[in-house]
Amino acid sequence: MAQLSERKINYKHKIKDYRGFDPVVNRSIQKQKTALKGKVIIHINSTPEGGGVAELLVSQVALEQSLGLNSHWFYVEASSEFFRVTKKIHNLLQGMRGQLTRLEQKIYLDTNRKFAELLARVAGHLKPDIIVIHDPQPLPIIDSFSEKSKLILRLHIDLSEPNQWMINFLKPYLVNYGRVIVSGQDFVSVLPKYIRRRTTVILPAIDPLSEKNLPMGRQRAEQIMKKLGLHPSRPCVSQVSRFDPWKDPSGALDVYLLAKKELPDLQLVLAGIIHAKDDPQAWSVLEKVRRRVQGHPGIFLFWDQGQIRPYSIDTFISAVFTASSVIIQRSIKEGFGLTITEAMWKAKPIIGNNAHGVRLQIQDGKNGIIAANRSKAAQALIKLVKNTKLNRRIGRAAQASVRKNFLLPRFILDNLRVYKKLT
Ligand code: UDP
């Protein structure tokens, strides 16, 4: 089974709605758009929903369309075997030891060959000016395309210490891309030399007008969390992330259990609604955490959309961030971490681990805390729950830094500049 399906977007906002955030960026976007009017852009990723890439693409593709670009978003569908292999590739690129077996290599390449046939049909019809491939799942799909200049590879993952075997395996496919985009400068140096020259760094961003990121009143957030079983007058700490070994939900649990010794009323939310088809590892990670939390009344795990009914995922996530006193992000590896940006935008102090994407966003002690081990994270958590003045000061600084650096219009502008160079 291999399919390429179009994800249609129904999003109401246009670029002019974002003028108030940064008029200078908006004007630059207006300047860039003329040269790109009518250009056909095809984005391809591996899931229509769930995770940061899909989150970004909803707003990115909609805004590109509103600017007059003819942008489309397709996602690949394949067997669970294929996604098991691509999750392993993701893990190897983030630094896991090992390599693909012969069979795994075959599954990956054969499925991508089928995707390539489907893409050739789509491309014959849409005649793209640019094709953007997101992340390693469909990376070899462009193997047979001759016009390299049109092809962009957008890698969203943490490439700070990749498995060299995996990089070598992907080299023949990486060569086919006219441009590679990564989320941080540190990820450039690990790429083969001839690819480094064609690599651009674009920091991701959040959409301040999406439902998830709009301000929510504290009272409403508390009402929602109360309905979902939490005690509104007790403090709450949360980690919002897929159940993934790199996000280390178990580590978040350890931090909570340490802090609870001093803050007996403290509650914990671990939110990772499982809906991304490309992440088959989530269930086993969830199961391990679930076993550990049995018999702890102050801990709330959310993994299924049925648990948060009648609320949408966006309303739920917005309520979790708003109702929490502190957010933790124990990621061991993190390409960027939109959940960090989302929490900061809600003016929450966040305690992050010392991972690349966390450091891209948090300046320790100013707009958040970086705690390299669990006991430091627990100490910071206790301090931030007890000291409301400090909590507010860091939260406000966090929000200001997102306003300055990590909002959607800047991200759109950075991408338009790359498109313009390629066309
Ligand atoms: N998210 C969600 N429901 C959840 C947990 C996360 O919708 O239960 C969203 C989260 O708000 C963010 C995205 O999924 O927009 C995760 O992006 P991030 O870059 O943090 O991590 P990724 O999953 O892409 O590694």
392-403: pLDDT as tens digits: 999 999 999 999
What does each C-alpha distance from 386 to 22, 82, 389, 395, 396 come to in angstroms? 35, 48, 9, 14, 17
d(CA 62, CA 71): 8
207 ligand 1 Cβ < 6 A: no
* Ligand 1 center–CA 242 separation, angstroms: 6
Minimal-distance CA residue to ligand 1 atom 14: 51
Q: Residue 279 CA: which ligand 1 atom is closest? A: 23
Question: pLDDT digits over 133-182, tens only?
Answer: 999 999 999 877 777 769 999 999 999 999 999 999 999 999 999 999 99
> pLDDT tens digits, residue range 215-246?
999 999 999 999 999 999 999 999 999 999 99
Atom 6 (ligand 1): residue with closest C-alpha? 241
Ligand 1 pocket, residue 395 CB under 6 Å: no
pLDDT for the residue numbered 279: 82
Q: Do 408 and 63 meet the contact criterion of CB atoms below 8 Å apart?
A: yes
pLDDT value of position 349: 98
| Spatial distance between the Cα atoms of 45 and 48, rounded to a whole number of angstroms | 8
The two tokens of residue 241 are 């992330």
Ligand 1 pocket, residue 118 CB under 6 Å: no
Q: What is the DSSP string of 236-277?
A: EEEEE--S-GGG-HHHHHHHHHHHHTT-TT-EEEEE-----T
Ligand 1 mean position, distance from CA 307 (Å): 17
Where exactly are the structural domains of the chain? 2-205+407-422, 211-405
List the residue whose alpha carbon is closest to atom 15 of ligand 1.
Answer: 52
- Ligand 1 center to 240 CA (angstroms): 7
Extract the tokens encoding 204: 């991701």
348-379 pLDDT, tens digit each: 999 999 999 999 999 999 999 999 999 999 99
User: Could you tell me if the CB of 342 is within 6 A of ligand 1?
Assistant: yes
Looking at residue 363, its pLDDT comes to: 98
Please tell me the class of the 2-205+407-422 domain: alpha beta
Residue 228 neighbours by CB distance under 10 Å: 18
| Distant-in-sequence contacts of 257-263, Cβ < 8 A, 24+ apart | 258/374, 258/375, 258/378, 259/378, 259/381, 259/382, 259/385, 260/298, 262/382, 263/235, 263/382, 263/385, 263/386
Check pLDDT > 90 for residue 12.
no
Shortest-distance Cα residue to atom 9 of ligand 1: 51
CA of 68 to the centre of ligand 1 (A): 29
Quick count: other Cβ atoms within 10 Å of Cβ 338? 26
CB of 55 sitting under 6 A from ligand 1: yes
The reply to whether ligand 1 has any atom less than 6 angstroms from the CB of 276 is no
Each residue's pLDDT tens digit, 166-176: 999 999 999 99
3-state secondary structure of 326: strand
What tens digit of pLDDT does each residue of 83-124 get?
Answer: 999 999 999 999 999 999 999 999 999 999 999 999 999 999
pLDDT of residue 145: 78
Q: Is the CB of 337 inside a 6 Å radius of any atom of ligand 1?
A: yes
What is the predicted pLDDT for the residue at 307? Answer: 97
Q: Which atom of ligand 1 is nearest to the CA of 204?
A: 19
Residue 272 CB less than 6 A away from ligand 1: yes
- State the pLDDT at residue 361: 98
Question: Is it the case that residue 278 has pLDDT exceeding 80?
Answer: no
The CB of 271 under 6 Å from ligand 1? The reply is: yes
Q: Which atom of ligand 1 is nearest to the CA of 206?
A: 15
Q: Is the CB of 64 under 6 A from ligand 1?
A: no
Of 191, 303, 196, the closest CA to residue 239 belongs to 303
Query: Fold for domain 211-405?
Result: Rossmann fold (3.40.50)
Give yes or no for residue 249 CB within 6 A of ligand 1. Answer: no
The answer to whether the CB of 52 is under 6 A from ligand 1 is: yes
